Amino acid sequence: MLTSTYHRRLPIPPYGTVRIARLPAPRQGGLLFGLLLFAVGLLGQLALGGSPTTPAWELTLLLDLEAIGLLVAFFSPFVFGVFLPLTE
């Protein structure tokens, strides 16, 4: 019987003993980034929305910033705080 040290079995730790570093920064950073996007879009709408010379694409961009900001602020804590720890 031919044996080789290349095919040696590696020890596998029991389930739940592998610790991945906790990620508080993406959770909080994602929430703050989403709120910042929302605030920029909202303040831009308030500042430029009343002006008749503002192009429509700028108003659309600001509205998109608001919508994307709300989505990022809502889903970032869910993804980094709930979903990723469940996949460990």
In this structure, are residues 26 and 80 in contact, taking their beta carbons and an 8 Å threshold? yes
Could you report the per-residue pLDDT of 27-81, keeping only the tens digit for each? 678 889 999 999 999 999 999 988 889 899 999 999 999 999 999 999 888 887 7
pTM over 0.85: no
Q: Exposed, middle or buried by CB within 10 Å (0-12, 13-18, 19+), for 81? A: middle
- Helix/strand/coil for 45: helix
